[in-house]
Chain A
Amino acid sequence: MTTVGNSRRMSRRAVALGAAAVPFAASAAIGLASASAQDKQDVRIASYTVNDTWNATVEEMIAAFNAQSTLANASIEFRPGDQYWDKLQTEYAGGQAPDITLVNSEWIGAGASRGMFVDLKPLYERDQVDQSDLWFDMTTDWGWEGGQYGALLYVAGQALYVNKDLLDAAGEPMPAVDWTWDDLLESAKRLTNEAEGQYGIYIGPLPPPHWSCAFVQGAGGAVLNDARDECTLNTAEARAGLQWIVDLMLAHKVMPTVGATEGQENPFLANKIAYFFGGTWEESAIRTTEINWDFAHMPAHPTTGITSVQLGSNAWSMLSTTGDEDATWEVLKYLGGPDGAQALVSLGVPGFNSVVESAEYQELHRPQDILVPVSDFREFGHDYYTTPDAAEWLTAVVNELGPMWTGEDTVENSTQRAVDRVNEIFSMRTF
């Protein structure tokens, strides 16, 4: 009995002790768990908003990274695209910048030369990250004085989207692989019905650094010389390319004027454009519509025979104010590596051969053939005109060419003024 009694007493004591221990054990367990979560360094990523589909896909990619990482816990902030770069620089100056940012090609020189971005080359070399699978040359768009300042997000650039319903209704065949600007114009004339607000062609965004560059280059010209220290928009070839676009709007009236599309959603999404020269990042939004569309190859200039596709890829860059470089690098390595590229396959053209050539990637873009723009990129892609003062000289070009698009001034006058203005900016360079 005593034994039993003792045993009962022991048992009660054990229960009491156990009961008392439970909260401690639980809190200890929670503490351990939270300690492990706290061990992961927070890494802030900033991006401008492209569209809802794009944002959702990027968020999924970040979640996938967080699920597998033991070092970093990444979070993304989507911000308005307007003045994104200006605001980022101000944040950086105020010490409030994120750890990683989405970057456009024209920002990389400015950011790298001012010490805003971390040179990733030593990190790539230290960790022996193999970049040989990239088909896109990172040193051109993302390099500065021998360093590498971006981890590729995707290869963005100009693609030609075709509204098959409009072509079918007009009895127009899909463009041939070897078609020319003349073929495009003739077809656009047949597809334009101005009274119905339907146009054969829409090029958007139009001014340099965007898609008018491809027509300047197709005509044999260039926006800047190879050394990128002189504007060459006043050459006969460059002027011919720009004049061709101006004529589309004002002479042939097969393209909406620049004013007509101001403040509107992309008119291709309104089912009113037959041939849309847009960015590859538009694909995800176009897929959400009921439009029966396909990709077509870029046309060649009828006399020079040159086909040009303007590229303007995006990357992720590390800000030099980042708190924990190792954790940030861990995130960046993922975003810019094959896993990151694989996660974003629905959004554009990955820079990795293995991803682009995978059946899975191509199947994801069916019924369209994503290899049409990809092959154009590889064969005819023209690098961005990256310079540290790109924001300034591009603003000048956009301003000076403005009256040309509306017919208020000639291509000759506008391009000459643009050249004078840009060369004046270049003459003040301190780098």
Chain B
Amino acid sequence: MATASKTLVQGLTTTKPPFLNHRRREAIGGYLFILPWIIGVVVFLLGPIAASFYFSLTNYQVVKAPEWAGLANYRRLLNDDLFWQALKVTTIYVAISVPLGLVLSFLVALLMNQRVKGIGFWRTIFYLPNLIPLVAGTMLWLWMFNPQFGLINGFLARIGIDGPLWLQSQQWALPSLIIMNLWGVGGATLIYLAGLQGIPTDLYDAVAVDGGGAWAKLWTITIPQMTPVIFYNLVLGLIAGFQVFAQPLILTGGGPRYSTLFVVLYLYQNAFANFRMGYASAIAWALFLIILVLTLIIFKFSNAWVYYEGDTRKR
């Protein structure tokens, strides 16, 4: 009996599943495959994010070791009128350029969705600005906005309007950047176009059967069906708007009189011109929190207006 039981125990021992069973092998393989990405995220994303938070609590001139400053940089942020000016400029830019861009790119997408001859050519033309390097495109606009020799004022002069000083004007510099931004609506248009072409045609047929015209099709089918795409473009536009940097850096340097001082430009000036890396890190974190809160608000309210086909969530 004792021998039989020993044999049974031995049998049980030998049938114990190996440590590297199929499931574990598969998991290890999976982790090995994504390891380069994990290393990349930790080293180039999470590491710098953590470092920037630490630096935001220090006085750091880069060429010298950081000195602990606690919350001094954040306190300074609250009393820095240039930061508030930069936030005001950025908010105005986002509040105007994002809705304008959403509407314009949607309208262009509707036009580009028509079945007319040569539509491929027009789609290419509208997307072309997105293929031009940012700096080259920005330099082009520098000339367009030249008050004396620029194309825009030249055109305005032909119709009897004395054009403004555009980038040189405290009043017109920010509107100039908003106008320039609209030039690049081709990217959002392309996304809208893909969405438009995914709307089932039988929905339009149903409206037609009910006697609805083009307007009814737009309001009852196209726009509701497109709300996920509009939502997507809104979130991306908002984030991109708060991160505008190269255009004001190249065109205005933040002037005249801080009228185009965007938050990221102010961050850059503090970090790389004045070498206040700690303060610049605090600005970066403030900007991150602002974008995060706004994005969460948009997500929260998206339930009320974004329609997902097949979505069973309670509205």
Interface residues of A (CB under 8 A from B): 83, 85-87, 89-90, 92-93, 110, 114-116, 256-260, 262-264, 389, 391-392, 395, 398-400, 402-403, 405-406, 408-409, 414, 417
What residues of chain B lie closer than 8 Å to A83, measured between beta carbons? 272-273
What residues of chain A lie closer than 8 Å to B64, measured between beta carbons? 114-115
Query: Closest CB-CB distance, B313 to chain A, in whole Å?
Result: 48
Complex CA gap A17/B255 in Å reads 79
What residues of chain A lie closer than 8 Å to B244, measured between beta carbons? none
What residues of chain A lie closer than 8 Å to B149, measured between beta carbons? 260, 264
Q: Do A408 and B171 touch (CB < 8 A)?
A: yes
Q: Do B62 and A93 touch (CB < 8 A)?
A: yes
What residues of chain A lie closer than 8 Å to B262, measured between beta carbons? none
Complex CA gap A114/B139 in Å reads 35
Q: Do B272 and A402 touch (CB < 8 A)?
A: no
Number of interface residues of B (CB under 8 A): 30
What residues of chain A lie closer than 8 Å to B148, measured between beta carbons? 256-257, 259-260
Partner of A262, one of B167, B257, B261: B167
What residues of chain B lie closer than 8 Å to A116, measured between beta carbons? 63
Complex CA gap A264/B150 in Å reads 11
Query: Closest CB-CB distance, A263 to chain B, in whole Å?
Result: 5
Q: Do B170 and A409 touch (CB < 8 A)?
A: yes
What 19 new A-B contacts, CB under 8 Å, besides A262-B167, A262-B168? A86-B273, A89-B275, A110-B275, A114-B63, A115-B64, A116-B63, A257-B165, A259-B146, A259-B148, A259-B166, A259-B169, A260-B146, A260-B149, A263-B139, A395-B269, A399-B258, A402-B170, A403-B257, A406-B170
Q: Do A263 and B257 touch (CB < 8 A)?
A: no
What residues of chain B lie closer than 8 Å to A408, measured between beta carbons? 165, 169-171, 256
Decide if B278 is an interface residue (CB 8 Å cutoff).
no
Query: What are 23 inter-chain pairs, A to B, with CB distance below 8 A?
Result: A83-B273, A86-B272, A87-B272, A93-B62, A115-B63, A116-B63, A256-B148, A257-B165, A259-B146, A259-B165, A259-B168, A260-B148, A262-B167, A263-B139, A392-B274, A395-B269, A398-B253, A399-B255, A400-B257, A403-B170, A403-B257, A405-B168, A417-B257
What residues of chain A lie closer than 8 Å to B143, measured between beta carbons? 263
What residues of chain A lie closer than 8 Å to B255, measured between beta carbons? 398-399, 402
What residues of chain B lie closer than 8 Å to A114, measured between beta carbons? 61, 63-64, 275
Query: B62: nearest residue on chain A (CB-CB)?
Result: A93
Query: Closest CB-CB distance, A248 to chain B, in whole Å?
Result: 16
Query: Closest CB-CB distance, B185 to chain A, in whole Å?
Result: 24
Q: Do A406 and B139 touch (CB < 8 A)?
A: no
Complex CA gap A93/B272 in Å reads 11
What residues of chain B lie closer than 8 Å to A395, measured between beta carbons? 253, 269, 273
Q: Do B272 and A89 touch (CB < 8 A)?
A: yes
Partner of B63, one of A93, A392, A399, A414: A93
Partner of A399, one of B165, B169, B254, B273: B254
Q: Do A406 and B169 touch (CB < 8 A)?
A: yes
Q: A89-B62, A402-B255, A406-B256 are in contact. Are A262 and B146 (CB under 8 A)?
A: yes
Complex CA gap A255/B200 in Å reads 63
Q: Do A406 and B165 touch (CB < 8 A)?
A: yes
Q: Do A403 and B62 touch (CB < 8 A)?
A: no
Q: Do A399 and B256 touch (CB < 8 A)?
A: yes
Query: Closest CB-CB distance, B281 to chain A, in whole Å?
Result: 14
Query: B166: nearest residue on chain A (CB-CB)?
Result: A259
Q: Which of A114, A263, A389, A414 has the most CB of B within 10 A?
A: A263
What residues of chain A lie closer than 8 Å to B168, measured between beta carbons? 257-259, 262, 402, 405-406
Query: Closest CB-CB distance, A421 to chain B, in whole Å?
Result: 9
What residues of chain B lie closer than 8 Å to A405, measured between beta carbons? 168
Q: A93-B63, A399-B256, A402-B257 are in contact. Are A259 and B167 (CB under 8 A)?
A: yes
Query: Closest CB-CB distance, B170 to chain A, in whole Å?
Result: 5
Complex CA gap A83/B271 in Å reads 12
Query: A321: nearest residue on chain B (CB-CB)?
Result: B63
Complex CA gap A83/B253 in Å reads 11
Q: Do A403 and B256 touch (CB < 8 A)?
A: yes
Query: Closest CB-CB distance, A94 to chain B, in whole Å?
Result: 9
Q: A402-B255, A408-B171 are in contact. Are A263 and B146 (CB under 8 A)?
A: yes
What residues of chain B lie closer than 8 Å to A406, measured between beta carbons? 165, 168-170, 256
Decide if B98 is an interface residue (CB 8 Å cutoff).
no
Decide if B147 is an interface residue (CB 8 Å cutoff).
yes
Complex CA gap A409/B257 in Å reads 10
Query: B153: nearest residue on chain A (CB-CB)?
Result: A259
Complex CA gap A291/B139 in Å reads 28
Complex CA gap A256/B147 in Å reads 11
Query: B249: nearest residue on chain A (CB-CB)?
Result: A83
Complex CA gap A405/B147 in Å reads 14
Complex CA gap A90/B61 in Å reads 11
Complex CA gap A110/B276 in Å reads 12
Decide if B174 is an interface residue (CB 8 Å cutoff).
no
What residues of chain B lie closer than 8 Å to A414, measured between beta carbons? 257
Q: Which of A116, A258, A389, A402 has the most CB of B within 10 A?
A: A402
Query: Closest CB-CB distance, B72 to chain A, in whole Å?
Result: 12
Decide if B142 is an interface residue (CB 8 Å cutoff).
yes
Nearest 5 pairs of A and B residues by beta carbon? A402-B256, A260-B148, A259-B168, A259-B147, A93-B62
Complex CA gap A89/B256 in Å reads 26
Complex CA gap A87/B273 in Å reads 9
Query: B272: nearest residue on chain A (CB-CB)?
Result: A86
Complex CA gap A400/B256 in Å reads 7
What residues of chain A lie closer than 8 Å to B258, measured between beta carbons? 399
Complex CA gap A408/B256 in Å reads 10
Query: Closest CB-CB distance, B59 to chain A, in whole Å?
Result: 9
How does the 8 Å CB contact mask read for B158-178 relative to A, with 1 for contact and 0 for none?
Answer: 000000011111110000000
Complex CA gap A420/B147 in Å reads 30
Query: A260: nearest residue on chain B (CB-CB)?
Result: B148
Query: B147: nearest residue on chain A (CB-CB)?
Result: A259
What residues of chain A lie closer than 8 Å to B272, measured between beta carbons? 83, 86-87, 89-90
Query: Closest CB-CB distance, B283 to chain A, in whole Å?
Result: 15
What residues of chain B lie closer than 8 Å to A260, measured between beta carbons? 146-149
Query: Closest CB-CB distance, B69 to chain A, in whole Å?
Result: 12
Complex CA gap A335/B59 in Å reads 37
Query: B270: nearest residue on chain A (CB-CB)?
Result: A392
Query: A402: nearest residue on chain B (CB-CB)?
Result: B256
Chain B residues numbered 198-250 whose CB sits less than 8 Å from any CB in chain A: none
Query: Closest CB-CB distance, A416 to chain B, in whole Å?
Result: 13
Query: Closest CB-CB distance, B277 to chain A, in whole Å?
Result: 9
What residues of chain B lie closer than 8 Å to A263, measured between beta carbons? 139, 142-143, 146
What residues of chain A lie closer than 8 Å to B254, measured between beta carbons? 399
Query: B139: nearest residue on chain A (CB-CB)?
Result: A263
What residues of chain A lie closer than 8 Å to B274, measured between beta carbons? 389, 391-392
What residues of chain B lie closer than 8 Å to A262, measured between beta carbons? 142, 146, 167-168
Complex CA gap A114/B257 in Å reads 29
What residues of chain B lie closer than 8 Å to A409, measured between beta carbons? 170, 257
